[in-house]
Amino acid sequence: MLSVESKEVIRATLPAVGGAIGDITPLFYEKLFAAAPDLERNLFNRGNQQGQQQKALAGAIATFATLQVEPDQDKIDATVSRIANKHASLGVAAESYDVVHKYLFEAIVEVLGEAVTPEVAAAWDELYWLFARTLIAAEAGLYEAAGVSAGDVWRGAVVSARSGSEDRVSFTLAAADGSPLPDFQPGQYISVAAQLPDGARQIRQYPLDTVTTDGVWAFTVRRVADSTLEDGTPSLRGEVSNFLIDHVSEGAELTVSLPFGGPVTADGVAATA
Ligand code: HEM
């Protein structure tokens, strides 16, 4: 829980911080990726760095702040579960929360300037770490439930069948070593990591089809039409889906995560990708 003092400071500064998220977020990612370029190429969705889609992380902190000021435990649980499942399916490690903290707070100070008094900084710091610790604990629980050590979610899988059309393809997967793939719950998804022609490893989530036999996974990919952004640059939306459709045939090996996510239930189990 937040301390009473921090809660009051958060309440008073939430409109300013929330209103500046649109400026804080691009600066945060610019700093983060300048310091750790491999995060942009190999972990984060670089398509989300285009246009208006990059606000999820910083926006979630503003949402979490609101949920602390006007407590709604069900919403907190559902939010934490959704994000933790996404993180677990990416193998996010607890140590990475330090680097995100560093550049997020540098960006906040740069955007809000003198409004970030030591008292304001301390309150938002407390809020960040409350959120981070909650996510880290939820992610640890998910890794434990999956029977793996923290972040060890990636596996090799072979495309044992591929069917569909030019624009919609179903891939069936079997474990590379022939053992049965782990069971999953309806609504769960896997992350698929694609090694793209420019060398970047880009990851996307796909729900598992429920019509497979035990030990086999299948997922369906839809082609995303090429488009350009307002400034004329090509959109990266669909770069993984289209790569899978155009370049991954039967017999190919894919790197995929264990299944995570699922419908929200009364006990707060995750939402889908
Ligand atoms: C308190 C800190 C953090 C918060 C509040 C947060 C929040 C979020 C949210 C809201 C999403 C979108 C979830 C969805 O699609 O349903 C997300 C996705 C993601 N997060 Fe985090 N996150 C945090 C820390 C981290 C850390 C430490 C890493 C690893 C360095 C990370 C890596 C990612 C990645 C790779 C995605 C997938 C989307 C994308 O690539 O843009 N996050 N996070």
SS3 content of the chain, % helix, strand, coil (to 5): 50, 20, 35
Longest dimension (CA), the chain: 60
Q: Annotated catalytic, 106?
A: no
Residue 265 has pLDDT above 80, yes or no: no
Q: What is the mean pLDDT of residues 83-95?
A: 97
How far apart, in Å, are the Cα atoms of 137 and each of 76, 80, 143, 149, 185? 14, 10, 10, 13, 22
Tell me if 91 is assigned to some domain. yes
Phi/psi region, residue 112 (left: phi>0; alpha: psi -120 to 50; beta: rest), is: alpha
Residue 270 has pLDDT above 50, yes or no: no
Tell me if 175 is assigned to some domain. yes
CATH value at residue 80: 1.10.490.10
**Nearest protein Cα to ligand 1, atom 13:** 83
Ligand 1 in reach of 136 Cβ (< 6 A): no
Same domain? For 67 and 131 the reply is yes
Q: How wide is the angle at C-alpha 68 spanned by C-alphas 26 and 144, nearest 5°? A: 80
Q: What is the mean pLDDT of residues 174-202?
A: 94
Scan for tokens 């994000």, then name that residue.
83
Neighbours of 226 (CB within 10 A): 10
Strand locations in the chain (E): 154-164, 168-175, 189-195, 201-207, 217-222, 253-257
- pLDDT in the model for residue 36: 95
Q: Annotated catalytic, 189?
A: no
Alpha carbons 175 and 113: distance in angstroms, whole number:
52
Q: What is the per-residue pLDDT across 109-168, written as a single tens digit (0 to 9) for each?
A: 999 999 999 999 999 999 999 999 999 999 999 999 999 999 999 999 999 999 999 999
Domain count, the chain: 2
| Average pLDDT along the chain | 92
Same domain? For 141 and 25 the reply is yes
Q: What is the per-residue pLDDT across 14-57, written as a single tens digit (0 to 9) for each?
A: 999 999 999 999 999 999 999 999 999 999 999 888 866 677 88
Q: Given 29, 97, 143, 189, which residue is catalytic?
A: 97
Same domain? For 97 and 136 the reply is yes
Q: What is the per-residue pLDDT across 220-239, written as a single tens digit (0 to 9) for each?
A: 999 999 899 888 888 899 99
Q: Given 29, 126, 139, 189, which residue is catalytic?
A: 139
Ligand 1 in reach of 189 Cβ (< 6 A): no
Which among 98, 89, 126 has a CA at the least distance from the CA of 6? 126
Range of the domain at 193: 154-257
Same domain? For 64 and 110 the reply is yes
Domain boundary residue, one of 117, 145, 173: 145
Which atom from ligand 1 is nearest to the alpha carbon of 271?
16
Which atom from ligand 1 is nearest to the alpha carbon of 128?
1
pLDDT band at 269 (very low <50, low <70, confident <90, very high): very low
Domain boundary residue, one of 115, 145, 175: 145
Provide the token pair at 262.
């699922």
Ligand 1 in reach of 245 Cβ (< 6 A): no
Same domain? For 27 and 44 the reply is yes
- pLDDT in the model for residue 138: 98
Ligand 1 in reach of 264 Cβ (< 6 A): no
Beta strand 168-175 pairing with 217-222: antiparallel
Ligand 1 in reach of 83 Cβ (< 6 A): yes
Which atom from ligand 1 is nearest to the alpha carbon of 39?
30
Beta strand 201-207 pairing with 217-222: unpaired
Tell me if 263 is assigned to some domain. no
Same domain? For 116 and 214 the reply is no
Residue 251 CA to ligand 1 centre (angstroms)? 32
Residue 268 has pLDDT above 90, yes or no: no
Ligand 1 in reach of 240 Cβ (< 6 A): no
- pLDDT in the model for residue 61: 94
